Structure 1
Amino acid sequence: MTITPEMINEAAGMFVFLTVELTILYLLISYAVGYVQTRLPPERIQNILSDQHGRGYIAAGFLGAITPFCSCSTIPFLKGLLRAQAGFGTMMVFLFASPLLNPIIIGLFAVTFGLQVTVFYFLMAMGVSVIGGITLEKLGFEQYVKPQSYEEPAPQSCGTGCGVKTKPVSVWKTIWLSTWSDFKTVIPYLMGGIAIGSIIYGFMPTELLADIASEDNPLAIPVAAVIGIPLYIRAEAVIPLSAALAAKGMGLGAVMALIIGSAGASLTEVILLKSIFKNQMIMAFLAVILSMAIGAGFLYSLIF
């Protein structure tokens, strides 16, 4: 493959764009979560996401569905749930559902595939998210959450001014200091994921994806689901990407598997999750997303 200036420009442009966008999103969402935590006691969050009679799992799924987050910006919200001691299973349902069922994705699916396919997609994503959360909780995967994920960021050192009376810090500043301290711990993961995702975005041609996942390839759907993981496909890019790949010969089932794999578990998100989860939990998370993507792709091909 010949590297062209256009590829370099696309990769560099995507890196700058994602760095700015995800940094702003992370800080804004972390700050908003910090504010909510000051107004909403942990006990209230625990009650909302209680797993009593399974209602907490459904509530977590719909909480994810009404939050317009991409996969990466779900992470600070997840950290807030961890620190509020919400149920592990319900948190996982939220983690699976949030990037897949946000209003932007659903709206674009309705425009691209029609209402019938959108309902199918919603039920598939919601169902697998709930089942995945329950299953991981029952199998005891909570042990693979890093202990520091439950802790509040360390307070800022008072330096040489210790012992000197100072004005009380406002709630807003306290939230910001906590947000910034938390953000500094994920910067290496964030930058690493953005760099890798941008390189793949700039240098992997759509023709290659279409050839690998064409309708003539019996492994097209699982291959498309796996390919989707290292890509970072924004919700706004779903329509043109789907149209371009379908026009180049990719089956619609494979297109759906690619979208679910990418939206549900982008490489950037997986790298960020390493700041929260141990490797066993990362592998389980990927297994659920891949199962959802492959299952939805095959079922879509059979029904539609």
Structure 2
Amino acid sequence: MNITHQMIADTLQMFAFLAVELTLLFLLISYLVGVLQEYIPPSKIQSILSSKKGKGYIIAGFLGAITPFCSCSTIPFLKGLLRAKAGFGTMMVFLFASPLLNPIIIGLFAVTFGLQVTLFYFTVALGVSIIAGISLEKLGFEKYIKAQAYITPESAGCSASCNTKNPVSKWQKIWQSTWSDFKKVLPYLIGGIALGSLIYGFMPTEFVARVASENNPFAVPIAAVIGIPLYIRAEAVIPLSAALAAKGMGLGAVMALIIGSAGASLTEVILLKSIFKKQMILAFLAVILSMAIGAGYLYSYLF
């Protein structure tokens, strides 16, 4: 009974924490994107992220690597890029790379697992993100973006007297657009947080370690699949992985778990439903799963 009470407490605590954190992150980042769009013309963003050469994809990958976004807070930035009409392939590179290569994960990776493992992780995540972005663009997956994702929400309650010459009106307009976006994704956000919190509270780490031990030939794909439903913050994914490794999980499976959980949390997938059609969601999950499983097996083979 005490164990059940603790699981419930952990679930409720995680739900409250994520609800507050992700709400604040979404509103803050959405607002900052709106502010940036006031000062950076869409043509400038488009020119940076729509290069006809490989440079645009590489820049998008490194842009993702230097932004401290988790998988969910990448979504507002992605919406800003869509409305600025940036290139589809480069946007997808950013979407894949940003949560996997943010500075927090890379720093904790280096401290916990060493520079060699960190370099392997960084190279695989960046390389696969770029290849996936190029491939999805060549295959025409841009048609699976919902039309409303390109539309900037109209500001409610702003009369004809509002104009951009008044700084207060300008900031209010950005906030109204941000709040309109937030209300649209709120049901997806709450649903994803609730499911992720239940899994977090009721799935013991001992179970994960047992099904993904080195003796299990399917440990890597199991770890990758387990990772996706979990919403694990950047600050927690590395310590959790280190604890699982100490309990017997193979490092290849640990690599797969990190990529699966950081790259495609359940919450992010639910949020992406407000932007992507089903075909694009499936393609996104296929890329993350392939990256997680491939990296896990490759690491086990090389090291």
Task: State the partner residue of 2:123.
Answer: 123
Task: State the partner residue of 1:257.
Answer: 256
Q: CA shift at 1:170, angstroms?
A: 1.8
Q: Distance in 2 between matches of 1:50 and 1:144?
A: 19
Task: State the partner residue of 1:274.
Answer: 273
Task: State the partner residue of 1:84.
Answer: 84
Query: Do the aligned partners of 1:50 and 1:87 also contact (CA within 8 Å) in 2?
Result: yes
Task: State the partner residue of 1:26.
Answer: 26
Q: Distance in 1 between matches of 2:239 and 2:48?
A: 38
Q: Distance in 1 between matches of 2:252 and 2:130?
A: 22
Q: Distance in 1 between matches of 2:2 and 2:214?
A: 27
Q: CA shift at 1:51, angstroms?
A: 2.7
Q: CA shift at 1:166, angstroms?
A: 6.9
SS of the aligned residue for 1:53 comes to coil
Give per-residue Cα distances to partners, 1:235-267, cap 9 Å, x unaligned. 111232112211221101101100100000000
Task: State the partner residue of 1:65.
Answer: 65
Task: Please say if 1:234 is aligned against 2:233.
Answer: yes
Task: State the partner residue of 1:287.
Answer: 286
Query: Do the aligned partners of 1:27 and 1:180 also contact (CA within 8 Å) in 2?
Result: yes
AA aligned to 1:184 is K
Where do 1:76-155 residues align within 5 Å? 76-155=76-155
Task: Please say if 1:302 is aligned against 2:301.
Answer: yes
Query: Do the aligned partners of 1:46 and 1:85 also contact (CA within 8 Å) in 2?
Result: yes
TM-score, normalised via structure 1 length: 0.96
Task: State the partner residue of 1:201.
Answer: 200
Task: State the partner residue of 2:4.
Answer: 4
AA aligned to 1:283 is L
> Across the two proteins, how many residue pairs are aligned to each other?
300
Greater CA drift, 235-244 or 9-18: 235-244
Distance 1:174 1:120, change over 3 A: same
Query: Do the aligned partners of 1:108 and 1:238 also contact (CA within 8 Å) in 2?
Result: no
Q: Identity, % of aligned pairs? A: 76
Query: Do the aligned partners of 1:45 and 1:86 also contact (CA within 8 Å) in 2?
Result: yes
Query: Do the aligned partners of 1:57 and 1:130 also contact (CA within 8 Å) in 2?
Result: yes
Task: State the partner residue of 2:212.
Answer: 213
Query: Do the aligned partners of 2:105 and 2:238 also contact (CA within 8 Å) in 1?
Result: no
Q: Distance in 2 between matches of 1:65 and 1:89?
A: 16
Query: Do the aligned partners of 2:162 and 2:169 also contact (CA within 8 Å) in 1?
Result: no
Runs of 5+ consecutive residues of structure 1 not aligned to the other structure = none
Q: CA shift at 1:274, angstroms?
A: 0.1
Q: Distance in 2 between matches of 1:186 and 1:24?
A: 13
Q: Distance in 2 between matches of 1:115 and 1:9?
A: 37
Q: Distance in 1 between matches of 2:257 and 2:237?
A: 10
AA aligned to 2:129 is S
Task: State the partner residue of 2:180.
Answer: 181
Give per-residue Cα distances to partners, 1:111-165, cap 9 Å, x unaligned. 111111111111100000000000000000000000000000122146xxx68x6
AA aligned to 1:80 is G
AA aligned to 1:85 is K
AA aligned to 1:239 is I
Q: Distance in 1 between matches of 2:275 and 2:237?
A: 28
Q: Distance in 1 between matches of 2:131 and 2:36?
A: 28
Give per-residue Cα distances to partners, 1:60-98, cap 9 Å, x unaligned. 001100100000000000000000000000000000000
AA aligned to 1:303 is L
Q: Distance in 1 between matches of 2:270 and 2:50?
A: 29
Query: Do the aligned partners of 1:100 and 1:263 also contact (CA within 8 Å) in 2?
Result: yes
Deviating beyond 6 angstroms after TM superposition, the runs of 4 or more aligned structure 1 residues are none
Runs of 5+ consecutive residues of structure 2 not aligned to the other structure = none
Q: CA shift at 1:234, angstroms?
A: 1.2
Q: Distance in 1 between matches of 2:128 and 2:162?
A: 52
Q: CA shift at 1:227, angstroms?
A: 0.6
Q: Distance in 1 between matches of 2:25 and 2:74?
A: 10
After superposition, the CA RMSD in angstroms is 1.5
